[in-house]
């Protein structure tokens, strides 16, 4: 990797790590539905604009759009709602640690649903260590396990599981397609799906009543974390190997912990660190041998 590739990897870790801090700011004034709505709309605008510049063709197959709609539900809409729902009761640094279990869930669902997926001993060890790490993070020694905190943790884990389902669905039905166009399309479809739900729930935001920091956080989450970061990621996939492009996966929890401490004054209970180490080790074992670029694209961290 050349210096410019290392810079891109670091930028991804900083941007995606910051997303949890930004959500923590947004939940003070916005509902989870409104946060997901703004994130989906901004991300779709940035990514589809890039796809248009690149001259991406629009598929006419109904099957393709059906698959992208399923992907929009599991890989974008549901997790984008569940993460802020969980962060109402869970600090951003802990949310990032739990979200780091996405590859663990992906590996589990792939083994169960994809006939060609086979778990080597190394990957079995990775799954086991990952789930032990998750259990350690949500244990009583790791944090105050009152009702609200537990519900928040389960919501974050639900989002991670949704990402895993989305990744497996991508592998089965959409590998080989233009990943950038799919990413933009799934965000656009998710935006359309969630809009009537948000309106019916009375959760439509009123920008005139929002604090300046809330508006800025919403713009950063939508256009930076869900738009520009995706563009950087797919650029890396074209420039370096898939394993190198996914290096940011290991840095995102560290980045999120730093952002939470720097901006929000959050402190991380030291007892969750062994769980974080086990999750990262499990992900590393699961990524051996390195996945193909198409599979890596489906497993991109959000």
Could you give the percent of the chain with pLDDT greater than 90? 47
pLDDT category, 245, cuts 50, 70, 90?
low
| Boundaries of domain holding 37 | 3-298
Q: What is the pLDDT of residue 126?
A: 87
Per-residue pLDDT for 145 more than 80? no
Average of pLDDT values for 13-17?
A: 93
What DSSP assignment string belongs to 182-238?
A: HHHHHHHHHHHHHHHHHHHTT----GGGS-HHHHHHHHIIIIIIIIIHHHHHHHHHH
Per-residue pLDDT for 293 more than 60? no
pLDDT tens, position by position, 112-124? 888 777 778 888 8
Which residues 6+ apart lie within 8 Å of 114 measured at CB? 168, 171, 172
Burial 46-78 (b: 16+ CB within 10 A, else e): bbbebbeeeebeeeeeeebeebbbbbbbbbbbb
Average of pLDDT values for 1-6?
A: 84
Q: How many domains does the chain fold into?
A: 1
pLDDT tens, position by position, 189-218? 999 999 999 999 999 999 999 999 999 999
């Amino acid at each position: 990797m050349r210096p410019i590739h290392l810079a891109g990897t670091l930028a991804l870790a900083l941007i995606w790590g910051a997303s949890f801090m930004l959500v923590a700011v947004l939940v003070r004034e916005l509902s989870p539905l409104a946060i997901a709505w703004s994130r989906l709309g901004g991300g779709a605008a940035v990514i589809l604009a890039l796809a248009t510049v690149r001259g991406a063709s629009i598929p006419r197959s109904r099957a393709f759009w059906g698959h992208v709609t399923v992907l929009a539900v599991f890989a974008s809409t549901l997790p984008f709602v569940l993460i802020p729902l969980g962060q109402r009761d869970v600090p951003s640094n802990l949310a990032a640690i739990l979200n780091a279990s996405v590859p663990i869930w992906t590996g589990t669902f792939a083994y169960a649903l994809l006939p060609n997926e086979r778990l080597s001993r190394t990957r079995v060890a990775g799954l086991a260590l990952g789930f032990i790490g998750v259990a350690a993070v949500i244990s009583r020694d790791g944090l105050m396990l009152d009702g609200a905190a537990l519900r928040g943790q389960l919501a974050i884990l639900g989002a991670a599981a949704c990402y895993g389902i989305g990744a497996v669905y991508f592998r089965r039905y959409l590998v080989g397609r233009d990943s950038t166009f799919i990413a933009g399309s799934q965000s656009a479809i998710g935006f359309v799906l969630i809009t009537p739900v948000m309106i019916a729930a009375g959760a439509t935001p009123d920008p005139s009543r929002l604090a300046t920091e809330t508006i800025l956080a919403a713009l950063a989450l939508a256009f930076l974390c869900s738009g520009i970061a995706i563009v950087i990621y797919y650029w890396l996939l074209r420039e370096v190997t898939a394993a190198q492009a996914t290096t940011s996966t290991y840095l995102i929890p560290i980045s999120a912990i730093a952002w939470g401490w720097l901006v929000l004054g959050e402190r991380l209970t030291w007892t969750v660190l062994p769980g974080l180490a086990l999750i990262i080790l499990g992900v590393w074992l699961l990524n051996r041998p390195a996945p193909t670029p198409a599979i890596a694209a489906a497993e991109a961290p959000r």
